[in-house]
Amino acid sequence: MINFIVNSEKCSKCRQCVKECPSEIIQMEKDIPFIPQDKEKECIKCQHCLAVCPGGAISILGFDPENSIEINAGFPDPGEMEFLIKGRRSTRRFKKENIDAKEVSKLINAASYAPTGCNAMSIHFTLIDEYKKMARFRELALDQLRIVVSEKKLPRGFEFFEGIMKKWDDDKIDVIFRDAPHLIIASCPKDCVTPVEDSIIALTNFELLANSMGLGTLWVGLVKWLITELAPDLKKVLNIPENHIVGYVMLFGKPAVKFYRTIQRKPETINIPNIN
Ligand SMILES: Cc1cc2nc3c(=O)[nH]c(=O)nc-3n(C[C@H](O)[C@H](O)[C@H](O)COP(=O)(O)O)c2cc1C
């Protein structure tokens, strides 16, 4: 049931929903938009019908258009967006402070607005919500890594983890978790066609909003490899569903570093094929 409901008093019969629906399943019946029951399974749950209706007449999937954010004034200034994109940096030094749960849920909510190849809101977020729990998880994770290293079971290509383990054991230098207070993992069910892409795009939203809120983030391939390739039992510790593919992992928290300027980059090449 997709719960497609039209408020006939608010509907101006403009047919925008009919034109916008990517599955082309909305029809006009007696001048009112309508989805035949046998077509409901073709709905990709994008909610464009709700978003495109000028009068806010359409609700779907139980979502009332009254609860959407109106898009009247346009998006943030392009200069501000460019500044955020260029000014964001990877954070590798964090304060040992928890972030307010409300701020974290705002970030996860924004992440869920990302485009998805799977369409169906199937991204799952696993969150370590306290510094204390991060410290405990790190201990468990490094214990498992130590076993893999000592039994010489590091898979080919991951031999460098031996040096990382040594840095921790000899000097307590945390190359993997960076002593961050929080970690978030985006995962998707295996039957999703684009699990990794969807996860990465969602975490990109998360990262940009987090940075705009003064928080620091770090994509961590090292943690992803640790929990997927080296010590997959850690997925159980984290309670990640067995049928899920881990898309990506991100550390975040209040930064203990301040950047005073952007870095500078140029695209390596821009390929403009000569197509006549
Ligand atoms: C997919 C991905 C995985 C990464 N994994 C790690 C990691 O495990 N540890 C780390 O310190 N940095 C990691 N980084 C951060 C990169 O090193 C960083 O983005 C790059 O040096 C550019 O710096 P910037 O993000 O400040 O622009 C990763 C970045 C990406 C995009």
CA of 91 from ligand 1 middle (Å) equals: 9
CA of 119 from ligand 1 middle (Å) equals: 28
Our answer on whether the CB atom of 220 is closer than 6 Å to any ligand 1 atom is yes
- The pLDDT value recorded for residue 120 is 65
What is the identity of the amino acid at 98? N
Distance of CA 219 to the CA centre of its chain: 11
Q: Which of 218, 229, 258, 261 for a ligand 1 pocket mutation test, highest count of atoms within 8 Å of Cβ?
A: 218
CA of 89 from ligand 1 middle (Å) equals: 9
Q: Distance from first CA to last CA of the chain, Å, rounded?
A: 49
Cβ-based burial of 95 (10 A; exposed 0-12, middle 13-18, buried ≥19)? middle
- The pLDDT value recorded for residue 260 is 97
Protein residue with its CA nearest to atom 29 in ligand 1: 219
Our answer on whether the CB atom of 88 is closer than 6 Å to any ligand 1 atom is no
What's the pTM?
0.94
Protein residue with its CA nearest to atom 3 in ligand 1: 221
Interhelix angle 78-87/195-212, rounded to 10 degrees, is 100
Our answer on whether the CB atom of 11 is closer than 6 Å to any ligand 1 atom is no
Spell out the SS3 assignment of 47-90: CHHHHHCCCCCEEECCECHHHCCCCCCCCCCHHHHHHHHHHCCE
Our answer on whether the CB atom of 21 is closer than 6 Å to any ligand 1 atom is no
Sequence-separated (6 or more) residues with CB below 8 Å from residue 120: 44, 45
Q: Which helix (H) or strand (E) holds 143?
A: helix 131-150
C-alpha to C-alpha distances, 10 to 4, 29, 70, 113, 155, nearest whole angstrom: 15, 16, 16, 26, 61
Tokens of 41: 């399974």
Using the 8-state DSSP alphabet, how is residue 120 labeled?
Answer: S
Residue at token pair 């799977």:
118
80-253 matches 5-67 in CATH topology: no
- 10-residue mean pLDDT series, the chain (276 residues): 96 98 96 97 95 98 96 91 97 98 97 88 92 98 97 97 98 97 96 94 98 98 97 97 96 98 91 92
Our answer on whether the CB atom of 183 is closer than 6 Å to any ligand 1 atom is no
CA of 167 from ligand 1 middle (Å) equals: 19
Classify domain 80-253 by CATH number. Answer: 3.40.109.10
DSSP 229-261: II-THHHHHTT--TTEEEEEEEEEE-BS----S
| Per CATH, domain 5-67 is 3.20.20.140 | no
Domain ranges of the chain: 5-67, 80-253
CA of 250 from ligand 1 middle (Å) equals: 10
- The pLDDT value recorded for residue 139 is 97
- The pLDDT value recorded for residue 189 is 92
- The pLDDT value recorded for residue 132 is 98
Sequence-separated (6 or more) residues with CB below 8 Å from residue 43: 2, 4, 23, 25, 35, 60
Give the span between the Cα atoms of 184 and 210, in whole angstroms. 12
Give the span between the Cα atoms of 232 and 73, in whole angstroms. 47
Residue 235 near residue 246, CB atoms below 8 Å = yes
Interior CA angle at 107 toward 106 and 111, to 5°? 120
Our answer on whether the CB atom of 250 is closer than 6 Å to any ligand 1 atom is no
Q: Which of 177, 220, 226 for a ligand 1 pocket mutation test, highest count of atoms within 8 Å of Cβ?
A: 220
Our answer on whether the CB atom of 222 is closer than 6 Å to any ligand 1 atom is yes
Longest dimension (CA), the chain: 76
